[in-house]
A = this chain, B = another copy of it.
Amino acid sequence: MVGAKLAERLARDGMLAGMPVAHVRLADVVESGSPARAGFDAEVVVGDLGDDGVVADLLEDCPDVIFHLAAVVSAAAERDLGQGYRVNLDGMRLLLDGIRTRGIDYRPRVVLASSIAVFGAPFPEVIGDEQLLAPLTSYGTQKAIAELLLSDYSRRGFLDGIGLRLPTICVRPGKPNAAASGFFSNIIREPLNGEEAVLPVPDDTRHWHASPRSAVGFLVHAATIDTGLLGDRRCLTMPGVSVTVAEQIEALRRVAGDEVVRRIRRAPDESIMAIVAGWPRDFDPRRARALGFSAETDFEEIIRIHIEDELGGTIPAAGV
């Protein structure tokens, strides 16, 4: 999802890091659509980073910038340990070693999508930039390892890496999915579409969000900035908005009215509550802000961006 939006953004900008975008290769395990009206040559590659030869093909013409967003996500990595390590760890290493062995003059910018899942409870109410990596999932472990590898290979001069710990992306477009974090988006997206959404946690549950548009903005900015400013710590927690579910709902009410909010049905789910209890609630991402990364300032803005980017600027359910 973020990858497709990034491709659209590149097509719209035509530029990245002050240079015209000449060629974009979009690689995924399923066939991705290429962006409409792109001024560049967009090539769609279907392949698994962990498979023989895929990395070599991707690096064939030495791309200047590589966005590595591929991952076996949280629930899947927990269900299938081998598959998670194969894609999230071995895939990363194959990519890094592919770059390292490509030649001494090749040192691309590598932008890694990491995750706040690298952190695990107990943590302070507001998490600073010095928080230790202590993941509580295999996915978070694999992302933490990917961060360490990125920093080491950058320090050694094989590439110019930067890792971004993305907030939970909200409002995630598309259908409700089975992810434990899905409800944060469902309770906004579904009522706006006239559908009911289930809220499985208490209203005082606090979490850390940014819009898909911000996520793309982080990636583009990461491709642009002077990484000399990062020092040896190449990975950063991205800005976001810390809100409770109650604050999400009040923002929805201000944007779309009571009738829309009434489509949220409370159905507490102990298992989801237990998972969410281990998640971070708030960050103070000073390093990223000082480097010019920015997200929304409140949750209402996150909802308005969803309406602009996904609903053509109007609320389909408002007239229902």
Q: Does A149 contact B (CB under 8 A)?
A: yes
Residue A201, interface by CB 8 Å: no
Query: Restricting to A108-146, which residues have a CB under 8 Å from any CB of B?
Result: 120, 130-136, 138, 141, 144-145
A-side binding surface: helix, strand, loop or mixed?
helix
- Tell me if A233 counts as interface (CB < 8 A to partner B): yes
On chain B, the residues within 8 Å of A134 by CB distance are 151, 232-233
Contacts of A233 in B (CB 8 A): 134
Establish whether residues B135 and A132, one from each chain, have CB atoms under 8 Å apart when the complex forms.
no
Residues of B within 8 A of A131 (CB): 132
Indicate if A75 sits at the interface (CB-CB under 8 A): no
Q: How far is the CB of A11 from chain B (nearest CB, A)?
A: 37
- A16 contacts chain B at the CB level, 8 A cutoff: no
Residue of B nearest to A151 (CB): B141
Q: How many copies does the complex hold?
A: 2
Residue of B nearest to A81 (CB): B156
With a cutoff of 8 Å between Cβ atoms, the chain B residues found around residue A132 in the complex are 130-133
Tell me which of A130, A136, A141, A152 has the highest count of chain B C-beta atoms within 10 A of its own C-beta. Answer: A152
Interface bits A70-93 vs B (CB < 8 Å: 1, else 0): 000000000001000100000001
Task: Give residues in A with beta carbon < 8 Å to B.
Answer: 81, 85, 93, 100, 120, 130-136, 138, 141, 144-145, 148-149, 151-152, 155-156, 232-233
- A134-B233, A148-B148 known; 19 new pairs, CB 8 Å cut-off, are A81-B100, A85-B93, A120-B232, A130-B132, A132-B132, A132-B133, A133-B144, A134-B232, A135-B148, A135-B151, A135-B152, A136-B155, A136-B232, A138-B156, A141-B151, A141-B152, A144-B148, A145-B145, A145-B148
Q: List 7 A-B contacts (CB under 8 A).
A: A130-B132, A132-B133, A133-B144, A134-B233, A136-B155, A138-B152, A138-B156
